[in-house]
Amino acid sequence: MKKNLLLISLLSLIAAPVFADDKPPAKQTETAKDESGWYTDYAEAQKAARKAKKPIIMLFTGSDWCGWCIKLERQILSKDEFKTWSEKKAVLFKADFPKKKKPAAEIARQNETLAQKFGIQGYPSVIVTDAHGKVLGNTGYQDMTPDKYTAHLDEIIAGKSKKKSAHK
């Protein structure tokens, strides 16, 4: 019995390196993005925006409780037209305020600080900034197609839109 136990232990030690994954686990802070490709770390979003010379689209949302937020996501933000536009034109940052799955404490603090800094009073709020945080304009849910919404964002980026946030 002792021989069998010793043999199993020895085989385990020999086989362990074969099955081990030599890549370290990816950290969420390495990419600082959520599963949909939006940055969740504002400092990382700013770095990416400066490097790419693109504006930042900041989405303040209550992803699991806010009806207008869910509608904006389903109607516009999850669509291929928006994703294609954003890859070329902007860096996406999301400050989420969910009720069911709470974000990490540092992300929650960051999001609260940003909501105060940008004067967020309702959800969804979309703030468009340059790479350094200067506000170019804001909007929110608009009852538009993804193409019209991206054209609306293009106007804000170009400084041609005076239209402010409206939930509808």
Cα atoms in the Cβ-side hemisphere of radius 13 Å centred on 127:
23
β-sheet with 135-139: strand ranges across? 91-96, 56-61, 125-129, 135-139
**Where does 30-158 sit in CATH, by number?**
3.40.30.10
Produce one character per residue of 146-156: b if its CB has 16 or more CB atoms within 10 Å, e if not. beebbebbebb
Q: What is the 3-state secondary structure (H, E, C) of 11-23?
A: HHHHHHHHHCCCC
Domain ranges of the chain: 30-158
Q: Mean pLDDT over all residues of the chain? A: 84
Q: What digits encode the pLDDT tens for the residues 130-166?
A: 999 999 999 999 999 999 999 999 999 999 865 554 4
pTM, two decimals, is 0.78
H-run or E-run covering 87: helix 80-89
- CA distance to 8, 20, 21, 58, per residue, from 16 (Å): 12, 6, 10, 45
